[in-house]
Amino acid sequence: MSEKILVVDDEQWVVSTVRQYLEQAGFEVVAAYDGETALAQFEKHKPDLIVLDWMLPSLDGLSVAERIRTTSTVPIIMLTARTDEEDRLDGFETGIDDYVVKPFSARELEARVRAVLRPSAERASPVVEVGDLKLDRDQRRLWVRDEPVELSAMAFDLLAFLMTHPGRVFTRLELLEAVRGETYGSFERAIDSHVKRIRQRIERDPHRPEHLVTVFGIGYRLTAETGR
């Protein structure tokens, strides 16, 4: 069964172009042209991924993403003409998985879609346990101290990668390349936003992390044991 993608943009020619290209690539495409319709289509079709324009009438893309994130971790790729770093970081804080900057090529968008949908963790055993964290890559489920916890697609892939390399220090760029590969063209500070969201889910005190720790001047490390 092909993956279903919800494409949301108020410009019909953009939706038409993206739909045609993604359908030729083997995906099923559902369309919406404004924020409210996007939410309705999301509830009706339960897509595997959303391509979402930031500048939508009445309800903008960031607001749509915020509403979806209250109930779902479905991957979201934001289409935007905004190049300001703070704007894009706001999106990552909301739980956006990737950005594609307008104008873009349909081929680039397809590559980003495949990168976000692709399971990125190493494929030894699907279940990984580190301390009181347990993660199932096949079912894309996470338990913290035996309690189920949900993460966005990007945050899940990032944590899965770190859990397969406990104790090892990675730079931000290494983490970006590990979870998204060469097609992930965003900037390194995006990792900080995802780390913040992961800490909010897995740490007893996100301001004093025991699991996912900062190695100043280098990057991040997932500790093999808490309190280290």
Q: Are 60 and 8 a contacting pair, CB within 8 Å?
A: no
Q: How confident is the model at residue 121, as a pLDDT?
A: 38
Residue 151 has pLDDT above 60, yes or no: yes
Domains of the chain, earliest start first: 4-117 (3.40.50.2300), 127-222 (1.10.10.10)
- Taking the C-alpha atoms of residue 169 and residue 228, their distance in angstroms, rounded to an integer, is 13
Residue 71 has pLDDT above 50, yes or no: yes
Mean pLDDT of the region 141-166? 90
Kind and range of the H or E run holding 67: helix 61-69
- Taking the C-alpha atoms of residue 78 and residue 104, their distance in angstroms, rounded to an integer, is 12
Mean pLDDT of the region 24-53? 93
Q: How confident is the model at residue 94, as a pLDDT?
A: 73
Mean pLDDT, all residues of the chain: 84
Mean pLDDT of the region 115-144? 78
Percent of the chain scored above 90 by pLDDT? Answer: 41
